[in-house]
Structure 1
Amino acid sequence: MSTETLIRPLDTKGTPVAGAPRTRGVETTTGAKVRLVIAHICIYIVALIFMAPLIYAFFSALKPNSEMFSMPPTLIGSEIKWSNFVDVFTYGPFATYIANSFIVAILGTLVTIIVSTTAGYAFGRLRWKGRDTVFVLFLATLMVPAEVLVIPMFQVMQWFDWVDTYQALVLPFAFGAFGTFLMRQFFRGIPYELEEAARIDGAGPIRTFLKIILPLSKSAVAVLTVFTFLSFWNSYLWPLIVTVDYDALGTLPVGLASFAGLTGTRWDLQMAAAIISMIPTTVLVIVLQKHLVKGIAMAGLGGR
């Protein structure tokens, strides 16, 4: 079914022609509206399915510890204990874990962005002998699981006497190939005419990179920032291995495991700590959402 209306023909200036017979035109389509409503309903249902574990985790953080595994399961406990979010910081050095995670994630993200953008520019825009061969070998490192590299990297950290330091937590995973590949693909989609114009004006490779290429790549840098920050923020295995004094240099994932002890596990506090640990990454994704959508859509469109 459709709703029709009489439309008078227009002249070249867009003005209705006086005295001209009216014709029938479709103003709105009921079927299109129905499809739009159904699409929105499906989106809301899928969003609710994905949010259900987070909603359950939040309400579980407000339960007493004795009711975490009550049968049948309940969404809300017999009492709402907002004090769980405060007790998290008194149970252990949770504030130190948060601070260490911020330090490691921010430093690791900065180093990764510097390395990935410069290496991506060298692989994507500069011409030098053996470039493609080196790039293929560099990408081949993505096929090596991180767990395989743990022992060799730990030995290297021992040689440098970096065990139980921030350097050991940041540097080993700041030189990965993923960020370089992402930036290279984005850089290759930028018109070469811009670079040639800069070269005619006397700009060298470094100035061209800083003044032209990098400012045009904000969306790709935003994508790399989010992925890298999440990777460092959620890293568990490497900080667990390379850190000795957990109370001083422990990160959030390691700190979450500290709620499980020999006398039992404080599930209520562990759940509250998990909710707190998700806040920074959620805020980061929301702030960079616009750049994320654009960057993900455009990062793989290069390939000249």
Structure 2
Amino acid sequence: MTNTITDTTENALYHYSPITERPPISWPDGKRVAFYVGLNVEHFLLDRPSTSIWPGTSELVPDALNYGWRDYGPRVGIWRMMESLDRYGVRASVLLNSDVVHRYPQIIKAGLSRDWAWLAHGRTNSILQAGMERDEERRFLAEVVGTIADATGRRPRGWMGPGLTETFNTPALLAELGLSYVLDWTNDDQPYRLNVPGMISVPYSVELNDLMLFGNGGTGERFLQVVKDQYERLRTDSEHSGRVMALALHPFVTGQAFRAKYFDQALEFLTAQPDIWLTTSDEIAEAFLVDSAPQRGRRPDGAKPV
């Protein structure tokens, strides 16, 4: 099997593996649900459409309405969220656009002092690598990873594409750069091995995600209830095998003043649960790789042979 996946009619990146037919996963100290905050720390270009709260002006240059909404995140929202994360001792797993290094160095400094985990998240959320040729993407990924490594003093272990985008070459190219996991495939409650040597998928969520929850008119009360419901069901499911709960957040959304208390209350609830492992996506990937080291007769994704 080659590392490059070119068949566009079948997903050769991973096998189908029902969660009921896998070897059990054990988290440290007997915890049942591994929880991490996926904090999207992003930069957006002024002259391109991107995530918008009001589509009516999204094609304008400049688009003061939508750009300003997004720009609230690094200016105000993230600092408000830091207060809650600090209050409950939660380390963020930062999905970092490499342009943030140059644009908002104060955020990098604050994250380093908090020992955040740093994942590569493209150069900017206004540029996707989807459609790139292999050599172009190799250069792009190397520049993104190198910029983050230089700024943080540690090489990223994980990747999430801007807009959760990849090419068929992305996982193999990331493996060449020494990364070990991706978040782009939001199809599971457990990590699993990809058919690219050394690469796994770690759960991320497009549903337990503030853009989805608040973007569809959701309230803070609903956000809090969804967080509780997610944890409680995953804890039930994890009786015999560990699960992962990812809370995907954007500072220009959750960092708004009128949502702050609900984020605070969500962390208060989660950090009080005795069966939760408060961790980072890096540590989840590392624990899974150790726990599921390939055994004779086991498929690359850890499932039983079929």
- When normalised by structure 2's length, the TM-score is 0.23
When you count strand as a share of all residues, which structure comes out higher? 2
In proportion to residue count, which structure has more helix?
1
Relative contact order, CA 8 A, sep 6+: which one is greater? 2
Give the number of the structure whose alpha-carbon radius of gyration is greater: 1
How does the TM-score come out when normalised to structure 1?
A: 0.23
